[in-house]
Amino acid sequence: MKALLKMEATKSNTAFDVQNIRKDFPILTRKVNGHPLIYFDNAATSQTPQAVIDAIVDYYSNYNANIHRGVHALSQEATDAYEQARIKIQKHFNAAKSHEIILTAGTTHAINLIANGYSSLLKKGDEVLVSSLEHHSNIVPWQMLCERTGAVLKVIPMTQSGELDMDAFAKAISTNLKLVFVNHVSNALGTINPIEHIIAEAHKVGASVVIDGAQATPHIKPDVQALDADFYVASAHKICGPTGVGILYGKEALLEQLPPYQGGGEMIDQVTFEKTTYAGLPHKFEAGTPNICGGIATGVAIDYMNAIGFDTIAHYEEELLQYATEKLLQIEGLKIFGTSSKKTAVISFNVAAIHPYDIGTILDKLGIAVRTGHHCAQPIMDFYQIPGTVRASFAFYNTKEEIDIFIKGVQRAVTMLS
């Protein structure tokens, strides 16, 4: 009940009030190394509002039970709450049917589920196309798939601005192409990829397309039917939800083609020692006891963000991005990697020959959390011939005042390390 009241209070605000929003996030009141926390690592994981925390506590306090398997009251309450969360996710992504939503342990789990399924659908000489802007979890499973099947992995190259080379993409399209994988938004650079065009072109040769929406969903509300995406995957912990919950959307016909990823309870219809038959969607892919409270809390997180509004979030985060970009470029020797005109609130940068880890360490001493390193995107770093970057990523609960403190922190780090 507390969670619902909290969300209604947020929804009643007619204008975006970041200070009011910040009150929903308990962690933003803490100090780190004696300084107020400034959290600019949102691309790795977002922070959690009180409404979502309350939902988790409520589950364990009042109706903790396993789902789908009991006739007692607690089991039925938990089952209803879990399946209502699935419907919320279905509506958020505009999937045609709720059973096209599979709840997984994360984006990586969802990707591996698809890759495992395609092991029985690909043959030697078939082609799998991935982009050069991918996270490692969007590269390694497809390499493993190609090793198992004899399929050929091809790569869409990138440009200096951090965008995909669409001319090269057009040349990579062939009748041998069976599967295309591309992220909606680059985790390392923030680039928004033209997935509508990629999906349309891939479908012309009968290829299926998997979209990694992990970095897009905090900023963009995807419509999987309008996109005509075959698969779309995302993580709850990037959209104010809990860790350990992933979202896999798949077209019903394609999900029916894929074999189960894991065997066990829940994913069966009938079991004998001679033969087992499998449950229908979505349970075919949800073996064992799931992260029940996590699934329920994911529905609350989606409610929370929709109450604020994704257009409102996008507009405000664009302001933060432009403001931070202008301020950072005033620092001598600073270079931003990923300069597409279409990007989300992510800035990856280096300053002269200073190692990004050193800048990140000094910022941490000032209570400023950023991400440093290759961001699980080593091919991007290899392209730019750098060891990594400092990545500052913003969310709707961040402020321009925090950016000002961050800029001073970067300047201090540069002075100390030069």
Model pLDDT, residue 271: 81
User: Among this protein's residues, is 376 annotated catalytic?
Assistant: yes
For residue 211, list its beta bridge partners.
Answer: 182, 232
Percent above pLDDT 90 for the chain: 90
Please give the average per-residue pLDDT across 136-153, as a whole number.
95
Weakest mean pLDDT among 26-35, 168-177, 274-283, 373-382 = 274-283
Phi-psi region of 51 (alpha: psi -120 to 50; beta: other; left: phi over 0): alpha
* φ, ψ at 28 (rounded to 5°): -75, -5
- 5: pLDDT confidence band, cut at 50, 70 and 90? very low
CA 49 to chain centre: 18
Give 244-256 pLDDT, tens digit per residue: 999 999 999 999 9
Phi-psi region of 190 (alpha: psi -120 to 50; beta: other; left: phi over 0): left
Instruction: Give dist(CA 304, CA 309) in Å, integer.
Output: 9
Here the tokens at position 146 are 């190609």
* φ, ψ at 105 (rounded to 5°): -90, 0
Task: Report the mean per-residue pLDDT for the chain.
Answer: 94
Give 64-83 pLDDT, tens digit per residue: 999 997 899 999 999 999 99
Instruction: Give dist(CA 179, CA 69) in Å, integer.
Output: 37
Q: Is the pLDDT confidence value at 339 over 60? A: yes
What is the pTM assigned to this prediction?
0.94
Pairing of strands 31-32, 35-36: antiparallel
Model pLDDT, residue 287: 87
Percent above pLDDT 70 for the chain: 96
Give 32-68 pLDDT, tens digit per residue: 999 999 999 999 999 999 999 999 999 999 999 999 9
Model pLDDT, residue 85: 98
Q: Is the pLDDT confidence value at 160 over 70? A: yes
Phi-psi region of 133 (alpha: psi -120 to 50; beta: other; left: phi over 0): alpha
- Helices 400-417 and 310-328: angle between axes, nearest 10 degrees: 30
Q: Residue for token digits 């299926």?
A: 208
Instruction: Give dist(CA 222, CA 95) in Å, integer.
Output: 10
- 7: pLDDT confidence band, cut at 50, 70 and 90? very low
Q: Residue for token digits 């007692």?
A: 72
Catalytic residue, candidates 146, 240, 293, 376? 376
Q: Which of 240, 356, 243 is nearest to 306 (CA)?
A: 240
CA 232 to chain centre: 10
Give 287-316 pLDDT, tens digit per residue: 899 999 999 999 999 999 999 999 999 999
